[in-house]
């Protein structure tokens, strides 16, 4: 469960202060499916990054499963990301020199998971995204949709409780975009909390909740 209380995020650009998030209050319960919508520059990515502990709020408190993570050290935040959070990005961010299996394995390598167990979990994760037959393919040998599925397998392989997807279909055609959405929805159905940033109203309608943002503020009453 995610709870933001009075969270602001400001960026200093020269003498100017950009208010990317303004005093955000937000609660997302475990297993929820939330769509984050709004025009470009409204603060969606910033909010997602704060929720994913990739970024820190300038002010306010962030409670993850009831625990305040605002004051955690860099290393502690890294461990939170490692175990509790999965990220999916618009541009996949696969490591080009590693094949699909290698990319899915990466978080486990650095988490110190034993080799044998890694192999099993890679196989299972690739199977869950329907890419067992592409395990030895490099990213440049995969289609966009397949790449995003590898990225999703990588995001869930450490067994996180929250999946944060920033425009996961933004770089895909309608058909593969639809597949990706269905895939992460299936994971949500299995209990994963899902937060998706999207411009697609269709996806917005599918989510259990929609949060509309503008100028760093949440402008609807939380769907």
Between the two ends of the chain, the Cα-to-Cα distance in Å is 17
Is residue 162 within 8 A of residue 84, CB to CB? The reply is yes
18 is an interface residue for ligand ADP by CB under 6 A:
yes
Q: Does residue 136 sit in helix, strand or coil?
A: coil
45 is an interface residue for Mg ion by CB under 5 A:
yes
Is residue 185 within 8 A of residue 208, CB to CB? The reply is no
Which among other proteins, Mg ion, ligand ADP, none contacts residue 18 (Cβ within 5 to 8 A by kind)?
A: ligand ADP
Report the DSSP pairing between strands 67-68 and 209-214: unpaired
46 is an interface residue for Mg ion by CB under 5 A:
no
52 is an interface residue for other proteins by CB under 8 A:
yes
Q: Which residue in the set 42, 128, 198, 210 belongs to the binding site for ligand ADP (CB under 6 A)?
A: 42
Is residue 103 within 8 A of residue 150, CB to CB? The reply is yes
Q: Which residue in the set 4, 80, 129, 218 belongs to the binding site for other proteins (CB under 8 A)?
A: 80
**Distance between CA 199 and CA 40 in Å, rounded?**
9
42 is an interface residue for Mg ion by CB under 5 A:
no
Q: Which residue in the set 91, 136, 186, 208 belongs to the binding site for other proteins (CB under 8 A)?
A: 91
86 is an interface residue for ligand ADP by CB under 6 A:
no
Say which residue the tokens 């067992």 belong to. 132
41 is an interface residue for ligand ADP by CB under 6 A:
yes
**Distance between CA 101 and CA 138 in Å, rounded?**
9
Which residues contact other proteins (rule: CB under 8 A)?
Answer: 45, 49, 52, 54-55, 74-75, 78-83, 85, 87, 89, 91, 93, 95-98, 102, 106-107, 109-112, 115, 154-155, 158
């Amino acid at each position: 469960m995610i709870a933001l209380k009075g969270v602001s995020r400001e960026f200093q650009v020269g003498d100017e202060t950009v208010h990317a998030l303004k005093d955000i209050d937000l609660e997302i319960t475990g297993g929820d499916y939330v769509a984050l919508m709004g025009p470009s520059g409204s603060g969606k990515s910033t909010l997602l990054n704060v929720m994913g502990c990739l970024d820190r709020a300038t002010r306010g408190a962030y409670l993850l499963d009831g625990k305040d993570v605002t004051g955690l050290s860099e290393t502690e935040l890294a461990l939170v990301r490692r175990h509790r959070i999965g990220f999916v990005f618009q541009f996949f961010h696969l490591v080009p020199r590693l094949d699909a299996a290698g990319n899915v394995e990466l978080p486990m390598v650095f988490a110190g998971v034993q080799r044998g167990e890694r192999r099993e979990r890679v196989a299972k994760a690739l199977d869950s995204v329907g890419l067992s037959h592409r395990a030895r393919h490099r990213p440049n040998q995969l289609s966009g949709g397949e790449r995003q599925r590898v990225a999703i397998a990588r995001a869930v392989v450490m067994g996180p409780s929250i999946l944060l997807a920033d425009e996961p279909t933004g770089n895909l055609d309608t058909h593969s975009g639809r597949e990706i959405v269905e895939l992460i929805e299936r994971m949500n159905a299995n209990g994963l909390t899902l937060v998706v940033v999207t411009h697609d109203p269709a996806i917005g309608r599918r989510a259990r909740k929609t949060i509309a943002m503008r100028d760093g503020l949440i402008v609807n009453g939380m769907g």
